[in-house]
């Protein structure tokens, strides 16, 4: 379902439900908008239905996209050596990977107005082809340009792909969203290992191989990815003033979560190195966190469908307040156990917040997806810049204390998730 009032979608054939106010933040829908949206919803159900095959293909496209967009950390030392760059360039190069995510609300608006599936396919191709050319970069500026193009392709891909997931998961939207997110999670986890094997055995120039799975998948993607209806000219404008309170709550929670997630992923290996541990062993801690994050995505989606989204965000926040400081306090095998549980807690809320973002902005669900994911993640990632300064002038315990404060910020904003702020938050 792209947008619209549930009452309209469930009304008997031949009878249109009256326009109603969509909760406290949705505003009034005009009769023209109601009729248009009801027709769109019926068309989407008839065309796409609740298709496990389409959802699987969308999850596969997410695997390809996020793998191509975020594989670089696994081979970054080799890239820096080939370009004769110092380690101090890591921050600049990493920023180039993520900065484009802040534009997801913009690409979401454009994708919803355009409809179809061109943003999914075009974004995936741009991301994959630019990522495949990284090994051919002759200097650091060409590398940064390729990373910016790859990141922009990923930014174009996500909002329309997320809207497509919603259109094919009518009955269990949170579980469907979680399945799609698992595809990306597996891509981010598997591709660094795959590309490192390519580089070790064949050299950086052979990274063009990573474009082959995407190119081979194009026929299936053309067959299975649903065409979304464009946002009708008669549809109501985005009601920014009425959406601003739930928007602020959602962005606040998601930005705090981004700080905690990205901060933990970045600083756990540093913590391990400061303890005198090896590179591979430190990376295995992150792998544990990301792999169990798949369980968090699926479990969080299931729990949200059954018990509600508010319970999931509250439970995750309370768990992270306890788990994040334990990451820097425990030793031995217990650290891997804590990392695994932390991964489950961290990634359990992504499906819920994406659905909330889409429901806050029913006039433009691509915009809602972009705000809940890319824009908020970019805000959280920017919080890592001062943490590097904190580590330089203090110690790793202070860094994790700040990350724990970020988890407390998650809880504070999660407490604001309520039907009074927006019905979708319940």
Residue 20 has pLDDT above 50, yes or no: no
End-to-end Cα, the chain, rounded Å: 19
Q: What is the pLDDT of residue 236?
A: 59
Q: What is the pLDDT of residue 90?
A: 62
Contact between residue 123 and residue 155 where contact means Cβ atoms under 8 Å apart = yes
List pLDDT tens digits, range 115-158.
Answer: 888 999 999 999 999 999 998 998 989 999 999 999 899 999 98
Residue 82 has pLDDT above 80, yes or no: yes
Number of alpha helices (DSSP H) and beta strands (DSSP E) in the chain: 19, 0
Rounded Cα–Cα distance for residues 267 and 213 (Å) = 32
Q: Which residues contact 411 (CB under 8 A, 6 or more apart)?
A: 314, 317, 318, 321
Nearest CA to 365 out of 104, 56, 51, 35 is that of 104
pLDDT above 70 coverage of the chain, percent:
81
Q: Say which DSSP state 228 is in.
A: B
Q: Say which DSSP state 116 is in.
A: B
Q: What is the pLDDT of residue 34?
A: 39
- How far is CA 157 from each of CA 143, 152, 334, 426, rounded to the nearest angstrom? 21, 9, 38, 28
CATH topology of domain 48-235: Growth Hormone; Chain: A; (1.20.1250)
Residue 2 has pLDDT above 60, yes or no: no
Q: What is the pLDDT of residue 226?
A: 86
Mean pLDDT of 10-33: 38
- How far is CA 423 from each of CA 25, 253, 411, 420, rounded to the nearest angstrom? 8, 17, 19, 7
Residue 348 has pLDDT above 50, yes or no: yes
Rounded Cα–Cα distance for residues 186 and 112 (Å) = 27
Looking at the chain, the domain(s) classified CATH 1.20.1250.20 span 48-235, 239-426
Q: How confident is the model at residue 27 (pLDDT cuts 50, 70, 90)?
A: very low
Q: Considering the chain, what is the average pLDDT of its residues?
A: 79
- Global pTM value: 0.70
Cβ of 29: how many Cβ atoms within 10 Å?
A: 24
- The least confident of 195-199, 292-296, 330-334, 352-356 is 195-199
**Which residue did the predictor score with more confidence, 199 or 406?**
406
List pLDDT tens digits, range 296-308.
Answer: 888 888 888 888 8
- How far is CA 378 from each of CA 103, 144, 258, 271, 343, rounded to the nearest angstrom? 9, 17, 8, 23, 20
Q: How confident is the model at residue 22 (pLDDT cuts 50, 70, 90)?
A: very low
Q: What is the CA radius of gyration of the chain?
A: 21
**Which residue did the predictor score with more confidence, 51 or 190?**
190
Rounded Cα–Cα distance for residues 175 and 86 (Å) = 44
Contact between residue 178 and residue 57 where contact means Cβ atoms under 8 Å apart = no
List pLDDT tens digits, range 40-60.
Answer: 443 444 443 346 788 899 999
**Residue 28 — φ and ψ, nearest 5°?**
-90, 140
Sequence-ordered alpha helix ranges (H) in 225-308? 240-274, 279-307
- The least confident of 188-202, 217-231, 234-248, 293-307 is 234-248
Contact between residue 72 and residue 97 where contact means Cβ atoms under 8 Å apart = yes
Structure tokens at 193: 């290992």
DSSP 290-341: HHHHHHHHHHHHHHHHHH-HHHHHHHHHHHHHHHHHHHHH--THHHHHHHHH
Residue 25 has pLDDT above 70, yes or no: no
Cβ of 233: how many Cβ atoms within 10 Å?
A: 7
Q: How confident is the model at residue 247 (pLDDT cuts 50, 70, 90)?
A: confident
Q: What is the pLDDT of residue 280?
A: 62
Q: What is the pLDDT of residue 28?
A: 33
CATH superfamily entry for domain 239-426: MFS general substrate transporter like domains (1.20.1250.20)
Cβ of 47: how many Cβ atoms within 10 Å?
A: 14
**Which residue did the predictor score with more confidence, 152 or 35?**
152
Long-range Cβ contacts of 244-249 (<8 Å, 24+ apart): 245/25, 245/421, 245/422, 246/25, 246/356, 246/360, 246/421, 246/422, 246/424, 246/425, 247/360, 247/371, 249/413, 249/416, 249/417, 249/421, 249/422, 249/425
pLDDT above 90 coverage of the chain, percent:
29
Residue 213 has pLDDT above 50, yes or no: yes
Which of 69-78, 85-94, 137-146, 228-237 has the highest average model confidence (pLDDT)? 137-146
CA 263 to chain centre: 16
Mean pLDDT of 233-253: 77
DSSP 365-410: HHHHHHIIIIIHHHHHHHTHHHHHHHHHHS-HHHHHHHHHHHHHHH
Contact between residue 105 and residue 238 where contact means Cβ atoms under 8 Å apart = no
Q: What is the pLDDT of residue 43?
A: 40
């Amino acid at each position: 379902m792209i947008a619209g009032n549930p009452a309209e979608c469930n009304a008997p054939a031949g009878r249109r439900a009256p326009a109603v106010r969509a909760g406290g933040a949705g505003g009034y829908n005009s009769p023209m908008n109601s009729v248009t949206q009801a027709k769109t919803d019926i068309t989407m159900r008839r065309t796409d239905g609740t298709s496990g095959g389409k959802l699987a293909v969308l999850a596969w496209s997410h695997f390809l996209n996020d793998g191509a967009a975020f594989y670089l950390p696994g081979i970054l030392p080799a890239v820096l050596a080939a370009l004769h760059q110092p380690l101090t360039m890591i921050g600049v190069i990493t920023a180039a990977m993520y900065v484009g995510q802040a534009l997801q609300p913009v690409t979401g608006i454009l994708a919803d107005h355009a409809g179809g599936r061109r943003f999914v396919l075009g974004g995936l191709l741009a991301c994959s082809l630019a990522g495949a050319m990284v090994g051919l970069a002759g200097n650091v500026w060409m590398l940064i340009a390729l990373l910016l193009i790859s990141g922009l392709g990923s930014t174009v891909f996500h909002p329309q792909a997320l809207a497509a997931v919603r259109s094919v998961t009518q009955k269990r939207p949170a579980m469907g969203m979680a399945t799609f997110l698992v595809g990306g999670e597996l891509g981010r986890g598997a591709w660094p290992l795959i590309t490192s094997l390519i580089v070790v055995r064949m050299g950086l120039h052979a990274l063009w191989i990573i474009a082959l799975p995407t190119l081979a998948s194009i026929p299936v993607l053309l067959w299975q990815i649903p065409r979304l209806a464009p946002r009708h000219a008669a549809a109501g404008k985005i009601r920014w003033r009425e959406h601003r309170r739930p928007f602020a709550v959602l962005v606040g929670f998601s930005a705090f979560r981004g700080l905690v997630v990205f901060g933990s992923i970045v600083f756990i290996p540093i913590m391990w190195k400061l303890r005198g541990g090896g590179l591979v062993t430190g990376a295995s801690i992150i792998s544990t966190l990301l792999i169990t994050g798949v369980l968090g995505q699926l479990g969080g989606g299931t729990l949200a469908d059954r018990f509600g989204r508010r319970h999931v965000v509250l439970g995750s926040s309370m768990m992270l307040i306890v788990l994040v400081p334990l990451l820097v306090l425990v030793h031995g095998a217990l650290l891997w156990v804590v990392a695994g549980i932390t991964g489950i807690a961290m990634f359990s809320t992504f499906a819920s917040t994406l659905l909330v973002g889409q429901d806050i902005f029913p006039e433009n669900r691509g915009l809602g997806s972009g705000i809940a994911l890319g824009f908020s993640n970019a805000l959280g990632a920017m919080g890592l810049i001062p943490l590097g300064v904190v580590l330089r002038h203090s110690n790793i315990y202070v860094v994790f204390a700040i990350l724990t404060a970020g988890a407390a910020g998650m809880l504070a904003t999660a407490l604001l998730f309520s039907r009074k702020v927006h019905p979708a938050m319940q």
